[in-house]
Structure 1
Amino acid sequence: MTNLEVRLHVGQGATRGPLTVFPVWTDAPTLPPSYLTGAGVPVEVSERAGSPAIDQLVVTNRADRPVLLLAGELLEGGWQTRALTASTLLAPGRPTVEKVVCVEQGRWGGPTAHTRRARRTPFTVLSAMDGGHAQQVVWDRVHGLESVAGPSATESLADRLDRTDATARDMTRGLRPLAGQRGLLVGIAGRPVWMEVTDSARTLKAHWRGLLHAATLDALGRPAVRTPAALARSFAEKVENTRLLADGPAGLGQRVRGGGRVGTTALRRSDRTVHLTAIAQEA
């Protein structure tokens, strides 16, 4: 059992309608990441040979360094588009079977290969990925986005991200990571709901656009209420004080998780938090 080994520092938020984005810094040492991440890294994703399964995909790192994939990353195409359920640090050259959820209920068939664009699921979908009926809940929440992102012939989250891309860019125009920023905290319609923290400003930058687009999709149609900084800092304090328990391997790292009203999951390697996700459980 352990607490987060770094302190979180929440800065001044920027509000765009219902969406408020707060920068997050940590007091961890500034070190270059020992891994690759984001779009464009050489990672192959495919269906299981001979027996594709909704909840599994085969992922192979073709780089000569470890590759970090984040919880909620979309793996698009294949027999149906999926999302990774947990962050993992892939060793070079080693195929691994990763747990995923389907975010395209109405399709089962097609090519075996998937593409990666570092796109992310919104927090309402990400928060549904645990539990005995997780897949049905994920499908229900993807369908629920129809009211703000329109219909999809195959109930595809990717279709809804495509359709809202221009809206997301307009809503978040001018938002960029600040010097040394390691993460962001998202508030929607007056309350904090989601935090992502990495061990490197470079890692945050590689996933910035995908995170903002996902946050925008959650915010569409919600009341234009600013999230107060005091609530954001209280959310961060809850994450800092969460007791984290070992939850199994994460490729080359170790997964830990804990929390009550704010569920926290982190990928750690060599006593360093590589990536952390915290989600308001009542969301």
Structure 2
Amino acid sequence: MDEHGSVPTLSVKNNGDRRVLLVGGEELLGAKQNRVLNTSVMVLPSVTIDVPVSCTEQGRWSYSSENFRASPTIMPRNSRMKNKRSVDLSLEARGSFEGDQGAVWDDISVMQQRAGVSSKTNAMRDVIDANWSSISEYTEAFQPVDGQNGAIFLANGAITGMELFSKEDAFRSIFPKIVGSYAFDHITNTGAQETGIEEASVDGFLKRLTRSRRSTYPSNGEGLDLRFEGDKISGAALVCQGEIIHLSAYDLSSTS
């Protein structure tokens, strides 16, 4: 992955002979600034494409390395949800996957306040690193079972979101990062109250998901980018050859 000297896109070349899935919300470390993928993208073999990103490190514009490397984490759930919805607005207005960069930086400042952390470069990675000991308790405690390719997440008894992948191995490899993204918000939301969870709540969430309004856009890579909004629900999915490759959905009534 190489940068163009501007924040909104990175150039990605797949030198292999298999498709490569880039998952929305994954952070990329290095180059002049750390970035986060604005949406999930499938890169075909022997193809170079531009992928949409946002900066997650406001105070640095100097090389820490020539290329990017994958971070061990994904952007926290609340921030992913907000960035996803800003991309929705950009798609509606301009057909672009560009996010609201100022809002991302503001959100990282809020993360620092909630976590009691100060980063010299306003870097999301610094905030997550400072909470890594607590986050790792969750990533170690939750493990996928055989055959699992998705999960619904709850915090304090309330549904917060859902992640679904087409392949079990893809889900298994990304699962610790996803758990960490939900765990961070739970850890830093000190005012939340524990409540019970009923099976009907899960059923209701899935029904709201299936009834949501949908919009479809060409992906920067293979396939289509599906966006949906509904009754207190928001999400996105990458669809290739009629198959959902990755789907994320968030319950808007929950902020933990």
TM-score (norm 2): 0.85
Partner of 2:41: 88
| Separation (CA, whole Å) in 2 of partners of 1:250 and 1:47 | 16
Name the SS for the 1:74 alignment partner. strand
1:256 aligned onto 2:226: yes
Q: Aligned Cα RMSD in Å?
A: 1.9
Q: Does the CA-based 8 Å contact 1:128-1:134 persist in structure 2?
A: no
Partner of 1:64: 17
1:112 equivalent among 42, 54, 66: 66
Q: Does the CA-based 8 Å contact 1:253-1:267 persist in structure 2?
A: yes
1:231 equivalent among 193, 201, 212: 201
Q: Does the CA-based 8 Å contact 1:105-1:154 persist in structure 2?
A: yes
1:137 aligned onto 2:103: yes
Letter aligned with residue 202 of structure 1:
D
| Separation (CA, whole Å) in 1 of partners of 2:73 and 2:213 | 30
Letter aligned with residue 197 of structure 2:
P
* Greater mean deviation of Cα atoms: 83-92 or 224-233: 224-233
1:215 aligned onto 2:187: no
2:126 equivalent among 159, 181, 200: 159
Letter aligned with residue 240 of structure 1:
T
Q: Does the CA-based 8 Å contact 2:149-2:167 persist in structure 1?
A: yes
Structure 1 residues 134 and 227 mapped into 2: Cα distance closer, same or farther (>3 Å)?
A: farther
Is there any run of 5+ residues in structure 1 with no aligned partner, and where?
1-44
2:55 equivalent among 91, 96, 102: 102
Q: Does the CA-based 8 Å contact 2:49-2:220 persist in structure 1?
A: no
TM-score (norm 1): 0.77
Q: Does the CA-based 8 Å contact 1:239-1:262 persist in structure 2?
A: yes
Partner of 1:127: 81
| Separation (CA, whole Å) in 2 of partners of 1:224 and 1:171 | 19
2:3 equivalent among 47, 69, 80: 47
Partner of 2:246: 275
Structure 1 residues 87 and 149 mapped into 2: Cα distance closer, same or farther (>3 Å)?
A: farther
Name the SS for the 1:58 alignment partner. strand
Deviation at 1:240, TM superposition (A): 2.4
Partner of 1:39: none
Deviation at 1:272, TM superposition (A): 0.9
Letter aligned with residue 73 of structure 2:
R
Q: Percent identity?
A: 23
| Structure with the largest fraction of helix | 2
Structure 1 residues 112 and 211 mapped into 2: Cα distance closer, same or farther (>3 Å)?
A: same
Structure ranking higher on relative contact order (CA contacts 8 Å, 6+ apart)? 1
How many residues align? The count is 236
Q: Does the CA-based 8 Å contact 2:57-2:123 persist in structure 1?
A: yes
Partner of 1:183: 150
Is there any run of 5+ residues in structure 2 with no aligned partner, and where?
91-98
* Greater mean deviation of Cα atoms: 107-116 or 218-227: 218-227
1:195 aligned onto 2:162: yes
Structure 1 residues 136 and 200 mapped into 2: Cα distance closer, same or farther (>3 Å)?
A: same
